[in-house]
Amino acid sequence: MLQAFRGAQVFDGHSLRAGVVVVQDGVVLDIVETVPFGATEIPLSGGILAPGLIDLQVNGGGGQMVDGTTTAADLAAICATHARLGSTGIMPTLITDTDAATDQVIAAGIKAKGTPGFLGLHLEGPHLDPRRKGAHDAALIRPMQAADVDKLCRATQALPALMVTLAPASATPDQISALAKAGVIVSLGHSECTLAEARQAIEAGALCATHLFNAMSQIGHREPGLVGAVLTSHLACGLIADGIHVHPQAMQLALAAKPDGVFLVSDCMAVAGTDLVEFTLAGRKILRRDGRLTLADGTLAGADLTLPRAMAILAGEVGVPLPRVLAMATRIPADLIGRPDLGRIQPGGAATFVHLADDLSLRAVWTAGQKLA
């Protein structure tokens, strides 16, 4: 079937432009000026037609967490929940847990390969720094061992992609190098490391930093810490732009320091896509109040956020230009995981789109040319 999406600005992954997106049988043919003869028109009535959004840190959704009971069917359900929220490609994320839980999630991810929206796994821990544990269970945080390296190197060969968040205090440069050479996307986070320690990890092959500013050593004028290392290096970094995890002016500083490479993450939990007001995480109650998810003691435990909401905050409250905001939720994260086929509207690419209103709220989602209910 020949379709023509018309009436909205088009974000192609790099810039906003006028045009009609022509699709045949779920694949983009081109962006043209007028509707081709015989095409079925999809009227959009303003707003922006953008590539499907990419979220590399998704702890759960639809009432489910990624945990030691997760199956391939559960991953598919979480992907489907987030597709309806605009994130048509996600990395389900397991936070610090037992070895058995990690094995279960890796096995589920391997079985889920090919599931719509499943881009691979993100293992956030357990090889972190307990001094920056955040909401992670300190009793389960531990140093990386040779068996862990072997497991992760095998897993990355069987998964679409694998991101691992670790702290230099719990992984040696040689271990980081082995992971990077095997294709693991090593991300630094939950760390109290010094600038020198961070740079050593970067030289070993780390490519990314997890939720910039949160759960990491901050900038000091004599010791710049992990934040300083991120802002003065080639590292990509995720950003939770809910206006709670990071102050808008801190976001401005980071974006000024890094013209490219900053991408948006939701860091969302089981409540995403639901009206739940609380849930359980590793036996601890998580409360949903006033846009926050917290432990009983007030510690932030993930975010109550979607990527369209994060984009609206960046554009409206931080003043980031629209093309950059859109790239932070599409092309930049897609490129980090080696998927140039995603995060763009381009000839030959899948017709997986989001239609956003002028205020960046979500109007509609299409996957392979089919509108989601």
The residues annotated as belonging to the active site are: 267
Q: What is the DSSP string of 253-299?
A: HHHHH-SS-EEE---B-TTTTS--SEEEETTEEEEEETTEEE-TTS-
- Tokens representing residue 68 in the block: 């030691």
How far apart (Å, rounded) are the C-alpha atoms in residues 240 and 52? 18
Q: Is the dihedral of CA 355, 341, 262, 321 positive or negative?
A: negative
- Tokens representing residue 56 in the block: 């590399």
CA nearest to 310, candidates 54, 12, 51 = 54
Q: Is the dihedral of CA 83, 87, 91, 95 positive or negative?
A: negative
- Tokens representing residue 115 in the block: 């599931």
How far apart (Å, rounded) are the C-alpha atoms in residues 191 and 201? 12
Beta bridge partners of 307: none
Contact 315, 252 (CB under 8 A): no
Distances (CA, A) of 23 to 160, 336, 342: 26, 26, 16
Identity at 141, one-letter amino acid code: I
CA nearest to 285, candidates 97, 276, 100 = 276
CB atoms within 10 A of CB 332: 20
Q: How many CA atoms lie within 13 A of 352 on its CB side?
A: 20
- Tokens representing residue 147 in the block: 């068996």
- Tokens representing residue 229 in the block: 């290392």
| CB-count exposure of residue 180 (10 Å: 0-12, 13-18, 19+) | middle
Our CA dihedral for 171, 97, 187, 178, rounded to 10 degrees, sits at 40
- Tokens representing residue 77 in the block: 């359900």
Identity at 45, one-letter amino acid code: S
